[in-house]
Amino acid sequence: MATTLAIIAIVIALLSAGFTGWQAYTDHDRRREEKSDRRTRVAAAEKAEVRATFNGQQVVVENRGPATAHNVTVELRPAEGEAGEAPTWLGMSDALPELPKGSFFRGDLATDYETAAAFIAIVTFTDGAGNHVEPFPIHRANPSG
């Protein structure tokens, strides 16, 4: 009888140890997932969302993201295979030191008969997530200038 009780005690101890190990493993796994989710949220909060769009005779550069964009530059190039030159941007000669969330910058374009009907705005900026270079295709409604 004592042997049976000893075996039962050993089985219970082993089951208890196994349960404790499983619980520690799942707890560690849950904490790792929470840490990963936290990193993802922090990275998203550090990311600016800068876009360039065309509005009549202006290019509008706006930040729709939750973070401030720094050292924002925009370079205009003719679209691939497009005849003509890129328009001249009259409003932006240097980098914008910063473009806070929810803000925008608008610059006039000078166009003539040699200006391409489609061009690309290459936007570069820095934010908490790093450096970014993003192209935005732009098509003018009135390519004759």
> What is the C-alpha separation between 127 and 45, in angstroms, rounded?
10
Strand-strand pairing, 69-78 and 58-63: unpaired
The total number of structural domains that make up the chain: 2
| Residues 56 and 35 both lie in one domain | no
| Residues 75 and 59 both lie in one domain | yes
Which pLDDT tens digit goes with each residue over 89-136?
886 767 889 999 999 988 888 888 888 888 899 999 999 889 999 999
| Residues 59 and 98 both lie in one domain | yes
| Residues 70 and 133 both lie in one domain | yes
| Residues 7 and 23 both lie in one domain | yes
Burial class for 118, CB neighbours closer than 10 Å (0-12, 13-18, 19+): middle
Q: How far apart, in Å, do the first and last CA atoms of the chain sit?
A: 102
Edge-to-edge strand ranges of the sheet holding 96-99 = 96-99, 69-78, 118-127, 130-139
Token pair, residue 65, equals 């993201």
| Residues 98 and 126 both lie in one domain | yes
Which pLDDT tens digit goes with each residue over 33-67?
777 667 656 655 688 999 999 887 888 999 999 99
| Residues 63 and 113 both lie in one domain | yes
pLDDT at 110: 85
> What is the C-alpha separation between 27 and 98, in angstroms, rounded?
43
| Residues 25 and 63 both lie in one domain | no
| Residues 71 and 35 both lie in one domain | no
Please report whether residue 74 resides in a domain: yes
> What is the C-alpha separation between 55 and 106, in angstroms, rounded?
9
Domain that holds residue 72: 50-139
| Residues 116 and 57 both lie in one domain | yes
Please report whether residue 101 resides in a domain: yes
Burial class for 31, CB neighbours closer than 10 Å (0-12, 13-18, 19+): exposed
